[in-house]
A and B are shown apart, each in its own frame.
Chain A
């Protein structure tokens, strides 16, 4: 990495904070640009990136070496949050963390691939508001590449789970036959669509979408053969549903607790299952006290997949090797990139020397063979010099040292 710059990561995730805390610090897609703008206003910050999903909010900033940006970032994004809910990483440790996120190793469901799309979306927004620079832009590209490589070359992505899939698996502990079930999905975003696809695969009887924008609900409903409604139909739709899955993006609780009528619930043939995948949560937690109702949020799903996580940790060993190699490659490229001004000067000097030599030899410029010889010789010499520079960049930090740093990172998790 450029010795003049410092990379700082401040974040909260499912590892450090429950959903009740995380939901207060979600940066919605609509607010992302302004959040990045505010981060760039912090003195000393030259680049910024924010990743905000249902399981984490992470801020990555680049500043001058020796300046601790973490307190300012905390004050800006994680105001009034106890320090033990957040974590701070610098430089290589921050890089390791970001690479692990992309590989799905830090996800609730280890190996899930949704995080790659979320990283890509975050990077696109940051690119639009020009908060990415010489360090973060190539870093995010490399991180996405590493994430894809881990999934294609290790077993981690095989039979990949997702939060949506786990939600449907929980539903299978309640309902034997999905063809006799009526499922209501509140929110027609990406997660809602994913849940709907899993339910379709299980042969769900009736699938209903309710969304703030009716047109969006209609668009996904057409694809999946579902019914579409606006959110104002929820008081009518919820009592009729066996399974309610809320995947609402942003905003406060859109599902009124009053729709879960105690009297009607107690008279239901089977319990109503409500799975809230929204952050902030769409269903008030005290609804869980109603009779004949089972309510789960993302933290509950995280506990369900703990068993799955144990099963997949073996396959993450191969991913560590890939991540260390990719990290090494990235750092070597960064070091080599720092040679760019020297390389340009060297190229210029080589051209100059070549021309001087050609001028000093009488008649050399009139002979095409001499001209070609001079050009090839100069190019060969330059290539040899550059190869040496690349090698020295690669050896700036050995892969073994990085591997040790990676192990230290894991020990401190």
Chain B
């Protein structure tokens, strides 16, 4: 205890360290080489908590009638110069393979003959906005039953023709009854704006997990990354 007044030199030093840290932190700093890897480690911990503690594979996202659609689904893709379009004349097909007993190539007519689901749900974007839209397609679970994955299949990788955009999914979220390969959007065939001819859709994941312009679906043992996930977005992204 000194008689110098209410603040000792040591107190001021401590205050300075705290203030300095806060100021440094406030300059758009992503953590740098020292801290960013640690932030990503915690992000993997959060993925684990999201996948194993908070995700209920049977919980359905609330649905509503199509006349309750609100907001606008924007058109997002990573290719430059407009939404990617599958070349005319080339037959498009979805290649389903990897750790499966019966790999298959599914054309649009084949997909449309498989079990069909339609629902109107709220879409959650990582940016913070929402929009309600109607999606029609075949449950990923139905396609999975066709190809019969082997016991060591733990993840699903979805590939696209949108400049190599891809996503990795945990099997439980992919097998969720509302996760589908969508070919219909708001009561119409899906357009290139929203991922034609086929896109992944699910109300239990953030939008960036929902690969558009699908070309392939591969069962893997190793965890696939993803276009945004590899740049730092959370991998699990279940909501």
Do chains A and B interact in one complex?
no
Q: Which B residues fall within an 8 A CB radius of A?
A: none
